[in-house]
Amino acid sequence: MIFESLPTTPRSEELLDKAFSRAARSGRSKSGLEAQQSMLQTASSILADNLENVVTQWPDFGTVDPFYYELADAIVDVDELRQSLSEVTWASRQVWSLREEYQPKLRKTDADTARKHRKQAFARMADVVEEVGDDLERIGEARDALKTLPDIRPDEPAIVVAGYPNVGKSSFVNRVTRADNEIAHYPFTTRGVHVGHFDRDRIRYQIIDTPGLLDRPEADRNDIERQAASALEHLGDAVVFIVDASEACGYPLSAQLALRDAVAERFEERDVPVLTVNNKSDRSRDVDADHQMSIETDEGVDSVLDAAVDAVAWRPDIPPSRQE
């Protein structure tokens, strides 16, 4: 996952303390002009390099998969984040410019004058770093929010499981996947996101149950949840929409089918197939569905999974739902 390896973002105070403390140690090992020159070089290198590293560790949002872009934008404002990264790039370059400006002033002069110039350079560098203090904080908060996202891979086939609560989505995911299912929490929902995997013909498939996103009408979602649901449109290669004709889930069948139609409409723009599956078929089959199954009795479960794989029609070289 592209965000999990992002390093901790230093705050402006931490960065300045680190740079100036090391510069002081560097200066103590030398004397006269050489000490002032060493301090300037040490502090500027630490500040500029660390600021640059903050930016270069992030992926280029102009080239990341649309799924990750939409998902990140649902959690943090990507435009604001990119602006903060740009400001930190500016700060790094400003520090280098100040170094270039003051280096000549520390040559061919006396030690006291050199010390005054070095202190002036440090003060101006500190001003630059403090100017982007809020940007560093924003980047750090974005990193903390994004690095905990579940490991969902846009380059692997993905089956999205949708439907109202209590229709059997999680049970289906647990039944058809390996024991290493990952349960992670998006910052915008308190319910776990289930990511399971299974292999078919040496291809690893992801199957994703997203409680809080595709389990109720769009009008009941907040703006962040709507955008996160939109991100799934870029990921899913097929959708298994589970209904409960028995209505034991607590929701009328008419409401379930209305949600199914809304989900299908969202995904059809990208030609993503949506399979309607009636779970709890041992209780009721009174619905026009593509497949009938019962997690309770194990009826039809494997057939549903086979149908989902066929609907994906995955070709490793060109993911079907990601063809332009």
Reference 149, options 203, 198, 189; nearest CA is: 189
- Estimate to the nearest angstrom the gap between the alpha carbon of 82 and the chain centroid: 14
- pLDDT tens digits, one per residue of 40-79: 999 999 999 999 999 999 999 988 877 778 778 878 889 9
Identify whether residues 92 and 191 lie together within a single domain: no
Which residue type occupies 260? R
- Cα angle 6, 9, 13 (rounded to 5 degrees) comes to 170
Q: What percent of the chain has pLDDT over 70?
A: 85
pLDDT digits (tens, 9 = 90+) for 210-239: 665 555 566 665 655 555 566 667 778 999
pLDDT of residue 151: 73
Same domain, 134 and 42: yes
- Look at residue 190 in the predicted model and tell me its pLDDT: 34
* Of the candidate ranges 19-23, 38-42, 180-184, 190-194, the one whose mean pLDDT is the lowest: 180-184
pLDDT averaged over every residue in the chain: 86
- Mean pLDDT over 236-256 rounds to 93
- Mean pLDDT over residues 20-36, rounded? 93
CATH (domain of 288): 3.40.50.300
Residue whose C-alpha is closest to residue 150's, from 119, 178, 187, 202: 187
Q: Quick one: 23 and 84 in the same domain?
A: yes
Q: Are 278 and 245 in contact (CB under 8 A)?
A: yes
CA angle at 223 for the pair 221 and 228, rounded to the nearest 5°: 80
126, 215: one domain = no
Which pairs count as long-range contacts for 191-197, CB under 8 Å and 24+ apart, including other chains?
Answer: 193/150, 194/170, 195/150, 195/151, 195/152
| Residue bearing the bigger pLDDT, 319 or 120 | 120
DSSP structure class, residue 241: E
The structural domain count of the chain equals 2
